[in-house]
A and B are shown apart, each in its own frame.
Chain A
Amino acid sequence: MPGLTTDQLFQPQSPDEWAATLLANAVVLNLPTTSWRDGDPEKTIFAVESFAFSYEDSVQSAVNQGNFLDFAASGTVPFYNVDGTTTIAPVSPDPSIAGQNPTSATTLLDTLANGKYNCFRIAATFAAGSEALININPTTYGPYAPGTYHVYNPTTQASYSNVFALTIPQSTEGVSVSNVTASSGLILVTTSVNHGLTTGEIVALVGVVGIPPLTLPTAWTVTVVSSTTFTLQGSVFSGAYAGGTGVVWLPTVAAFQADVIGAGSTSATPHTINGSLTSLVGVYCDNLGGFFGTNVESNASLANRCRLKLQSNAPAPPVAAYISVALNAQQLAPLLSTPMTIAQPITRVSLVVDPLSGGIILYCANANGIPSAGDVASLNAVIGAYAEGTGQSSIALACTATNVAAVLDVYLPSASNTAANVVLFQQALATYFGVAPIGGLTDPGGAYTNVIPIDAVLGACFAAAQASQVPVKQMQITLNASFGNISLSAEAVAVLSPAIATIRMHTVPS
């Protein structure tokens, strides 16, 4: 057989084409094909075999595409069904796309990436963090086996449960609050008597009136100012305190994680996971810090990391080596001589070479935006160990954030105006902003430079609706109350703020 082209290697023939080939060969061999009638064994066997050959051809075409990164990542192959329909199947079902590969089953791209590049897909992780449980009843609840005590975020409806066995004794009641004021923007709590706390301790404030951030029972890490005053770390003061209200409690703090793996709508900012699904009298809950999970890595990202890895094994590494090492830093950090950790994988990197010094500056971001100082410190250690050549200087810096408030208006039939679809659009926006590059996008044709194009954001929402077959009639979005693009500086990353976008659903006739 002569050499096949890549088109022939990558695309199958349909059953009709296989049937025609079989028949043509039969004619060449002088078989009495004109006397064969429908239903005769000869024609029936050909018909059945044509589908079998076409199916094998489709599988083989997918395997052939799977030998090359781009086709393994985004190639498709038609499968011809006996009912006359055609199914277009991805060569490697992408686990980051809803419905394509929900179990993250190993794909041809994974096989290529693992075997040829020693590069492994970043797995999804559960959004996790510390949850404070305030029990003001003289009762001990539990123990609850792992995964059986549930709390939730009333805004997103995402639910979370205890990671370890959990018992909730009555919280220790502390002192009464006598005043709440501002201190350099933070909330400063004054107690009626000595509070006895030390900096870093976790308290819950219950019953404070007039201070919006403390309206619900909330938990905070304190910084002690004096024997009767402390500030609440991460707080923002607002309101006017109503005298004589509020008590300081010492809550139970436990590790919780989302019930569903991945980031998306399960990521949560501090003080948003404050609803109890496991309803107990007198028990309140609140998350101290953010809960951030990781989405499973997309095919495109994995293929990109494979190519970058080619450049990361040289003694005088090219610039792409720095990017490769940064994107693999979470796996490399524990391998340092002094093992370190990176809590959230670095998923976005922008590299600048200083033309005056030759120094390399890497601006980095994770799926949630700005990485923590600890993660950046670990990243610098990893780059120093794995990327930086002799005589070369480099530094990794956290990118800056440009906050983007997104408000999406969706017009759709009443049957589709559901809470689930609200979450669908929230998740689509979170996913888009979770991967938007540092410095935004620049049109090669010069139409725009360093922007988040509003059309692209809207397109991501439409794509989500299409993938989930939500019959949207119309959609419009504002970014920071404008219908225009969002401009970024070269080292900035766009961060959804608030993290959960506002979705306004409007019912229209179907």
Chain B
Amino acid sequence: MSGIWNMAQALLPAWAQDGNFSRYMFTLGLAHDAILEKAVQGADASNPLETQTPTSLALSALDLLLTRGLTESDASFGKRLARALDDWALAGLDWMVLRQALGLVLAFTPMARTVKDVYTAAGSLDTSIWSTFVASADTTQSPARVFTGGATSHAANFDWDSLSPTTNWGSFRYWLILYAVSGNQWVNPAPYKWGAAGVTWGNWNPSWGTDQPPQTWSTLQSILKLWQRGGSWCRQIIVSFDATLFDPTQAVGGAVNPDGTFGRWSKVVSGQYVPARFASAVYCDGIY
């Protein structure tokens, strides 16, 4: 397109090509061009891949129900928004729960996993199903899946609390595990721990046990509520500061995977209360 002014100039007779008349027409032509430019940019603004109007990304995000990452760039968020309809077509899958949760911490590209258990008809723990994105994974591709059991093998390796459908806890539970280890350290464990000097209830920022504000966890919860399968329950959001914990290739317990006592904060060993869960991880309530 040549613009209104160029068009007008081509139409002007020779006597009007120079001088005040030409310049007068030029001022009007500029204004016409400004309106046209506004129209073009207005159309572009709804295209998240066009970052000329970055403030419109927030509006596209509202329309497409995506949450911007903690330190996500315009270009990165624009690309995720452009894929939003494809993502929504897969909503409810473990893949999308992981992809959207990782979207919040995208700039750090940590490893992330979901794990859920399958039970026998009698209510016994049967199989654990793990889905994993390794650090820096392309989350537009599906995550790696590991089945620890199956029709003939009973090898569940994630036993949170030894509860089963027969004791009212169904197989609709799952856990989200986000890793925060060197190289992908999006959250740090110190120093806000129970008992630390000067830390009391009501000291809400940062949150207990991490240097992230509470909003990070509530945002994660809202992302999960939006993207998880209807009726499923994220039992816990676990942030592990140790890459070796929660390993689909390892057996239940063994100081790597939960051993059936993680449902409470503590357990009794030799008559003493001791922590039930791994100390090098923090545990946030999930959501249903």
Question: Are A and B part of the same complex?
Answer: yes
Chain A 301-329 residues near chain B, CB threshold 8 A: 306-307, 310-311, 313-322
How many residues of chain A get a CB closer than 8 Å to chain B's CBs?
A: 58
B170 within 8 A of A: yes
The residue from A29, A31, A317 contacting B230, defined by CB atoms under 8 A apart: A317
Contact residue among A6, A31, A63, A356 (Cβ-Cβ distance under 8 Å from B59):
A6
A319 to B168, CA, bound (A): 21
Known contacts A22-B31, A314-B89, A5 near B55 by CB under 8 Å = yes
A39 interface hit (Cβ, 8 Å): no
Query: Closest approach, in angstroms, between the C-beta of A392 and any C-beta of chain B?
Result: 5
Q: Which residues of A contact B195 (CB under 8 A)?
A: none
Cα of A310 to Cα of B90 in the assembled complex, Å = 10
Instruction: Provide the B231-269 mask, 1 if CB < 8 A to any CB of A, else 0.
Output: 111000000000000000000000000000000000000
Q: How many Å from the CB of A390 to the closest CB on chain B?
A: 10
**A331–B70 alpha-carbon span in the complex (Å):** 40
B79 at interface by CB-CB < 8 Å: no
Is B215 close to A, CB under 8 A?
no
A393 engages B39 (CB within 8 Å): no
Q: Say whether A30 contacts B45, CB under 8 Å.
A: no
Residues in B whose Cβ lies below 8 Å from that of A321: 91-92, 230
Let me know if A31 and B31 touch, CB within 8 A: no
| Interface Cβ pair total, 8 Å cutoff | 165
Contact between chains at A355 and B233 (CB < 8 Å): yes
- Chain B residue at minimum C-beta to C-beta distance from A309: B88
- Pick the most buried of B34, B37, B63: most chain A CB atoms within 10 A of its CB: B63
Q: How far is the CB of A380 from chain B (nearest CB, A)?
A: 15
CA A315 to CA B96, docked complex, whole Å: 12
Known contacts A317-B229, A357-B170; A69/B52 CB under 8 A: no
B230 touches A394 (CB 8 A): yes
Q: Is the interface of B mostly helix, strand, loop or mixed?
A: helix
Q: Is A415's CB within 8 Å of the partner chain B?
A: no
Smallest CB-CB separation from A50: which chain B residue? B31
| A275 part of interface (Cβ distance < 8 Å) | no
Q: Mark A392-415, 1 if CB is under 8 A from B, else 0.
A: 111000000000000000000000
Chain B residue with minimal CB distance to A356? B168
Binds B, one of A52-60, A95-103, A428-436: A52-60
Contact A9–B91 (Cβ < 8 Å): no
Q: Is the beta-carbon distance between B31 and A18 smaller than 8 angstroms?
A: yes
A353 in contact with B288 (CB, 8 Å): yes
CA distance A372 to B229 in the complex (A): 29
Q: Mark B60-97, 1 if CB is under 8 A from A, else 0.
A: 10111100000000000000000011001111110010
The residue among B42, B89, B231 with the most chain A CB atoms within 10 A of its own CB is B231
Contact B31 A21 (CB under 8 A): yes
Q: A9-B53, A29-B27, A314-B91 are in contact. Are A358 and B172 (CB under 8 A)?
A: yes
- 10 tightest CB-CB pairs across the interface, nearest first? A316-B92, A64-B42, A358-B172, A3-B52, A67-B46, A314-B91, A319-B230, A358-B231, A316-B229, A29-B23
- Kindly list 10 other residue pairs between chains A and B, CB separation below 8 angstroms, not including A1-B41, A60-B42, A389-B230: A5-B53, A30-B23, A32-B20, A56-B35, A64-B38, A314-B92, A321-B92, A356-B168, A360-B230, A392-B231
* 11 A–B contacts from the bound complex (CB under 8 Å): A4-B53, A53-B35, A57-B38, A64-B38, A67-B42, A67-B45, A314-B91, A314-B96, A317-B229, A320-B226, A394-B231
B residues neighboring A (CB under 8 Å): 20, 23-24, 26-28, 30-32, 34-35, 37-39, 41-43, 45-46, 52-56, 59-60, 62-65, 84-85, 88-93, 96, 168, 170, 172, 225-233, 288
Residues of A within 8 A of B (CB): 1, 3-9, 18, 21-22, 25-26, 29-32, 42, 45, 49, 53, 56-57, 60-61, 63-64, 67-71, 306-307, 310-311, 313-322, 353, 355-360, 387, 389, 392-394
